[in-house]
Chains A and B, each alone.
Chain A
Amino acid sequence: MKNILLAIIISTGIVFGQSFHVDKVQGNVKVQVGTSENWSNVVENQTLNTNSIIETGKNSLIVLSGNKSKFTLKGSSALQLSDIKKMGVNDLILALAMEDMLNAPKKKEEANSKNTAVYGAQINGIKNPIVETDNFGIKKLNGAVQLAESGYKESAVVDAKNTYRKYPETKNLASFRIYFANILSDFGLNEEAYDEFKSIQSLNLSNDQKEIVKNKLEILASKLSQK
């Protein structure tokens, strides 16, 4: 079904704002531009390119304007400015499908020589170092929620999905998962929403969340069976 949809969809196009004007800054707000490794403080009246990502500290806030609209990012959030864009549902479907298309399930040939024994650093005993989380993923989900609340629901879902992949610990945050799964359901993407709720069901849920997920799955199953 997804494949058929992909084939018949005519892209509605994505509207990008070229840049944003910083109307207001409150507290600690930083920006990382493009592929830069560094962060810098954001000041009022600064112009930020869409390839920038902004991060707000606790109790901080930034108000941006561009594309004939204003956007406010509250505290403890992070957002890629290129995500502040209007997408159609068709583009959302394409973006969701792309997640699978990016995967590389191809088998590696044995012919490729593996000489890690020569240069490998297993010798020093540090095989898989784990980096302490800085909750940047949660900040990005906070940003995605605000994106959705501001009317950019499609790009908010795509943003959330990317965050789940790049920050796997965020996959366990049931409240966010339920929030964005409901958006999928609201768009009538029942198959995608059902899969998402089914995945959420395996998380450590509160009783209320269990009830919500259960009810939602029943409704979606009913809709899917009527197809």
Chain B
Amino acid sequence: MARVLVVDDDQALSEMLGIVLRAEGYEALFCDDGSKAQGIFKETKPDLVLLDLMLPGIDGIEVCKRIRSESGVPIVMLTARGDTLDVVKGLESGADDYIVKPFKPKELVARIKARLRKEDVKAELLTLADLTIDVVGHSVKRNGKDISLTPLEFDLLLALARKPWQVYTREQLLTDVWHYRNPADTRLVNVHVQRLRAKVEHDPENPEIVMTVRGVGYKAGP
């Protein structure tokens, strides 16, 4: 049973989220203060974090950064603001996905499921440039040294690496990696490609592994 940590200061909403999560068969854990979030996270080791951006104590973006610094656990932001700046800030601080309040329970559950989805994979070793991707082990190595990626970043890299000849549009990546049924905000892709490049590229300014195809999208290089 997957465990979901809900970091939200609104008690009614937390409780309601708990009801919905339990109805879907998840175990719900709660935290109502940003400053306690990291401690509770360490203690409980949840499989996914639902994080409200507006929190007392430390705000959601800071919480997101702190969790991300020690774990690749999927983080889905709850935001009351659809404003560009907040969403991008949240994504840049490490959130995998976001959902704008008010949302339907089904939407939320779909987002959670997409992030927790484990594909059945056969043992496979892919190489991309000087990277070795171990699909089962969920690891990426360069010259025998591990590069730590979040599950989402791994999925993104894997999707590109599996078909190095194919140019992916941002919408395709949203469908394949984020499992959106209706392609939505392409900024998700942009921000996470930046994060991925920062980890795998020798020089993120001149990418050689995740290449931009102007006007279309991305492809695995070279």
Our verdict on whether A and B bind, yes or no, reads: no
